[in-house]
Every structure is written in C-alpha cells, then in structure tokens.
C-alpha cells in the first residue's frame, strides 16, 4: 500500500492541476483558491464520478465562495473564547484544542475556513505548550477535543507525544480526536497509528462522513482497525445543500455508518461561515429529515440534529415535535402519524 504521505503529496492544490483532472474551466476559481486553499487528494478525487456530484461539491472550489455577503469569518466566536491561541474554552467541563492547520482535503464548507490550511492558523510547539499549560491550570476541564485541521495528519511520534502529555494531566478524563481521515484519506489509519492511540484510553474518535458514497472498502477497513483497538467511533455530519439534504441520502448514510461501527453523533446545521452560504439549508429541512428517520431506522442510527448557536453560545438540539397536547394526558403523534395518549403520573388512567 502506498504510504499516506505519498498519496497526500499527489494532491491537487493549484488551478492548473485541477484543469488536468476535472472539467472545470473557470478562471474565477484562481481567486477562490487564493482566498481559501484547495487540496483534493487522489483517493478522494477517485470517488468523484460526475461533475458536481456530492463529492465534487465538497472538495472542488466554487465561485460562490467569494459571493457571500451574509456570513462571517468566525461565527462561533472561537477567537474570543480562546484563553490561549488555538484552545477554545466554551463549555465548563470541556475544551477544543486545535493542534494543526492541515487536513487531508480542504472541505469547501469548513467551519474554520477562515484559517484552516493557511498561515492565518499559526500552530507551533509554543501554542501547543500554552494549551497544555492552560489545561493543567484548569482542572474543571475533564474532556479535551483535539481538532484542527486534522490531528491525524500529524506524524505518529507527534501524536504519541501530544497524547502522552495530555495523559500527564490528572484532571483530564476523556480525550476525543476529531478527524476526517477515515473518510478523506483512510490509508492514514495504520496498525502503527492505532498501536499508539490505544495506549491512551479512554480515547474516542469523532469522524466526519457526509455521503453514503464515502463509505468505501478503504473507509470500512480504517474504521474496523480503530474499532478493533477499542476506540468508540462517532460521526459528525454536516447538512449541506445539494449534497445530502435529502431524507433518503441521510438514511442510507446513517445505516452505512452503523455497518462500519460508527455511531452517528451529530447532524449539524451548517454554520454561518463566510464562503459557505451556498451550502446552507433551512432548519425545517433538517427537522423534516430527522422526522423521516425516527422509527424507520434504529435509534442507534439517529444523530442529534444540532445548531451551533452564533456567537459561541453552544450547540442546541433541533428536534421534530411529536407532541400535540400537554395536560393530564400527553397527546402525541406516533412515528407513523397515529395519535397516541399517555396518562401522566398521578392522573387517573
């Protein structure tokens, strides 16, 4: 198997390389790429079957990225919620620790589009040490989410040292890694990598699949290797217009994830990130999709539909409403639309 770094090295990163591989003549794309980096690695490129299919839309730049007068650079106010650079402390007991600016591909809808893959996201031994220091001095943080960028693009030794240093902080109970490589570059998941990861349990991985076509034999192998190492796997999917904003697509994706031992965790409403407005869906669409899933597939396959509140106010669930009336009896719709009654505790039946 070709080494993952060699595969990554062959990525499309320039307009001229893009012309050679895909049919998208549009010089406006040069300006898009100058503003927001592009990286389409050969593995993901190979999954694109037709122009503007769901995998194309996730990875190939679009002039619409420059035509966004609505969204803002940092919709979740991450910079203001960072007590030290690249560590976001928004919730009392957990923190988001950004440890690299690199990804195996640059998703066009990325929430951190303002800085991912660019020199605007400045990560060094100093920022990592400042983060570790903050975590040591803030024992109320019990759960650290390592993210970026994609932490699994770091070298094995760097990951080992980082996890070792986190495990030296006694107040940290759970370590989570947010990574898209099981989907975007599954060859990165090697026996050597999982031998490192499994030393640091309880360690969870939240990965990121958006479309059933991403569930390939390679992705299946990568997730099996991780799951066999005792790492619980979750998935954070983003609802994206023209990509997966369809009940049948999301249903197939959630089923497919369970099959590869990944538990759907969040289904996110797209953030208000500058350059991504064309991907946003109406919140009604997400709620209708979730409503469609409930009862049709196992509860195991149903994620929480969540909206990350603008201004860094935290994630809130958006739930379909089954309740018709509250009182002595709770009156509600069943999943297939039958009206049901449940007498409340303390009421006569």
Ligand X SMILES: *Cc1c(COP(=O)(O)O)cnc(C)c1O
Question: Does residue 110 belong to the site contacting ligand SF4 (CB under 6 A)?
Answer: yes
By residue count, the chain amounts to: 349
- Which whole-number Å values give the CA distances from 310 to 217, 271, 315, in the listed order? 37, 8, 9
- 107's contact among ligand SF4, ligand X, none, with CB below 5 to 8 A by partner kind, is ligand SF4
Residue (of 273, 225, 302, 252) closest to 75 by Cα position: 273
Q: Smallest distance from the beta carbon of 275 to ligand SF4, in angstroms?
A: 12
Q: Alpha-carbon distance 15 to 33, whole Å?
A: 8
Question: Does residue 315 belong to the site contacting ligand X (CB under 6 A)?
Answer: yes
103 is an active site residue: yes
Q: Smallest distance from the beta carbon of 115 to ligand SF4, in angstroms?
A: 10
Q: Smallest distance from the beta carbon of 183 to ligand SF4, in angstroms?
A: 9
Q: Which residue has the tokens 């390939």?
A: 216
Q: Alpha-carbon distance 211 to 203, whole Å?
A: 25
Question: Does residue 268 belong to the site contacting ligand SF4 (CB under 6 A)?
Answer: no
91 is an active site residue: yes
Q: Which is nearer to ligand X, 18 or 272 (CB)?
A: 272
200 is an active site residue: no
- 145's contact among ligand SF4, ligand X, none, with CB below 5 to 8 A by partner kind, is ligand X
Q: Alpha-carbon distance 291 to 166, whole Å?
A: 40
- Which whole-number Å values give the CA distances from 289 to 54, 60, 303, 337, in the listed order? 18, 26, 11, 15
Q: Which is nearer to ligand X, 88 or 215 (CB)?
A: 88
Secondary structure of the chain: what % helix, strand, coil (to 5)?
A: 35, 20, 45
Question: Does residue 134 belong to the site contacting ligand X (CB under 6 A)?
Answer: no
- Is 217 buried (19+), middle (13-18) or exposed (0-12) by CB count in 10 A? exposed
Q: Which of 73, 77, 91, 296 is catalytic?
A: 91
CB atoms within 10 A of CB 244: 23
Judged by CB under 6 A, which of 95, 103, 145, 270 binds ligand SF4? 103
Q: Alpha-carbon distance 321 to 318, whole Å?
A: 9
Question: Does residue 180 belong to the site contacting ligand SF4 (CB under 6 A)?
Answer: yes
Q: Which is nearer to ligand SF4, 206 or 229 (CB)?
A: 206
CB atoms within 10 A of CB 179: 26
Judged by CB under 6 A, which of 57, 89, 94, 112 binds ligand SF4? 112
Query: Which residues make beta-bridge pairs with 177?
Result: 146, 205
Question: Does residue 176 belong to the site contacting ligand SF4 (CB under 6 A)?
Answer: no
Q: Smallest distance from the beta carbon of 213 to ligand X, in angstroms?
A: 26
Identify which range of 25-33, 67-75, 106-114, 214-222 contacts ligand SF4 by CB under 6 A: 106-114
Q: Read off the tokens for 326.
A: 């509250």
CA–chain centroid gap for 275, Å, is 17
Question: Does residue 303 belong to the site contacting ligand SF4 (CB under 6 A)?
Answer: no
Q: Alpha-carbon distance 229 to 247, whole Å?
A: 33
Q: Smallest distance from the beta carbon of 208 to ligand X, in angstroms?
A: 13
How many CA atoms does the CB half-sphere of 27 hold within 13 Å? 0
- 94's contact among ligand SF4, ligand X, none, with CB below 5 to 8 A by partner kind, is ligand X
Question: Does residue 90 belong to the site contacting ligand X (CB under 6 A)?
Answer: yes
Judged by CB under 6 A, which of 62, 74, 78, 150 binds ligand SF4? 150
Catalytic residue set? 90-91, 94, 103, 107, 110, 112, 271, 308, 315
Instruction: Provide the binding-site residues for ligand X, judged by CB under 6 A.
Output: 88, 90-91, 94, 96, 145, 315
Instruction: Provide the binding-site residues for ligand SF4, judged by CB under 6 A.
Output: 103, 106-107, 110, 112, 116, 149-150, 180
């Amino acid at each position: 198997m070709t080494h993952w770094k060699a595969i990554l090295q062959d990525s499309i990163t320039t307009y001229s390389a893009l012309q050679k591989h895909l049919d998208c003549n549009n010089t406006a794309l040069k300006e898009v790429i100058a503003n927001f980096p592009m990286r389409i690695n050969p593995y993901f490129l190979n999954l694109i079957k037709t122009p503007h299919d769901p995998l194309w839309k996730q990875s190939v730049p679009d002039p619409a990225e420059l035509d966004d007068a609505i969204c803002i650079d940092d919709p979740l106010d991450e910079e203001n919620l960072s007590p030290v650079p690249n560590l976001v402390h928004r919730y009392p007991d957990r923190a988001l620790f950004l440890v690299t600016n690199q990804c195996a591909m640059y998703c066009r809808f990325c929430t951190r589009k303002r800085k991912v893959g660019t020199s605007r996201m400045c990560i060094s031994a100093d920022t990592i040490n400042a983060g570790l220091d903050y975590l040591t001095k803030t024992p109320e943080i019990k759960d650290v989410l390592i993210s970026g960028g994609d932490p699994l693009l770091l070298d094995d030794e760097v990951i080992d040292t980082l996890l070792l240093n986190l495990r030296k902080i006694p107040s940290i109970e759970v370590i989570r890694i947010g990574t898209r490589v099981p989907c975007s570059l599954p060859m990165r998941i090697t026996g050597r990598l999982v031998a490192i990861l499994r030393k640091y349990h309880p360690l969870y991985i939240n990965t990121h699949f958006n479309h059933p076509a991403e569930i390939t034999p390679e992705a299946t192998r990568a997730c099996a290797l991780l799951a066999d190492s005792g790492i619980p796997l979750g998935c954070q999917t983003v609802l994206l217009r023209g990509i997966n904003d369809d009940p049948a697509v999301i249903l197939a994706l959630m089923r497919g994830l369970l099959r590869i031992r990944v538990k759907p965790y969040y289904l996110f409403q797209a953030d208000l990130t500058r350059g991504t407005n064309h991907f946003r869906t109406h919140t009604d669409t997400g709620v209708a999709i979730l409503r469609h899933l409930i009862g049709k597939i196992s509860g195991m396959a149903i994620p929480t539909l969540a909206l990350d509140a603008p201004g860094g106010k935290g994630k809130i669930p958006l739930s379909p409403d089954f309740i018709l009336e509250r009182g002595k009896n709770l009156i509600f719709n069943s999943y297939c639309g039958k009206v049901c009654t449940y007498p409340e505790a303390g009421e006569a039946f």
